[in-house]
Amino acid sequence: MPCGSMRTHNLISGSSPMSQTSLKSVSFAISGSGGAGVMTAGEILLMAAAKAGYYGLQTRSVGPQIRGGEAASLMRLATFPVHVHADAFHILLAVDWLNFDRFSGEIDLAQGATVITGEDSGELPEKVSRTASNVIRL
């Protein structure tokens, strides 16, 4: 974690409507510059999951800058109570790549991960392009 960074955790619980044959857990990260809505997006997804009956964990990481610094919302949603993140993330939503390198040690992507990013966001960082098999540019 970058020097001067802050980290907070949110935990939700519910009773899941997912069947036993469905995916049991999904981990995703949202990264971007501070003030770009990264934390708000993570909180909305966490609340929506809780209302749908899922369990979830969110870790919020931000740099020391008030605006424009690095920001990441690390999430795990599951059909069971979760207290830790998975070893790797299945989905990465990159609002921009400006400060992604500051979180590259925290955001390990699962082999075959899906990356969602902007159409004009530029080249994917090497670490991301090595593991992501599905890149969606919006």
Averages of pLDDT over each 10 residues, the chain, 138 residues? 45 48 82 89 93 93 78 94 94 90 89 92 88 91
pLDDT at site 17? 45
| 116 domain-assigned | yes
Pick the closest to residue 59 from 28, 35, 23 (CA basis): 28
| 19 domain-assigned | no
What CATH number does residue 94 fall under?
Answer: 3.40.920.10
| 48 domain-assigned | yes
Pick the closest to residue 28 from 13, 48, 11, 42 (CA basis): 42
pLDDT at site 23? 67
| 65 domain-assigned | yes
Task: Kindly report the pTM of this predicted structure.
Answer: 0.81
Count structural domains, the chain: 1
Q: Which residues form the domain of 64?
A: 6-14+25-137
| 1 domain-assigned | no
User: Residue 45: what are its φ and ψ, rounded to 5°?
Assistant: -65, -40
| 111 domain-assigned | yes
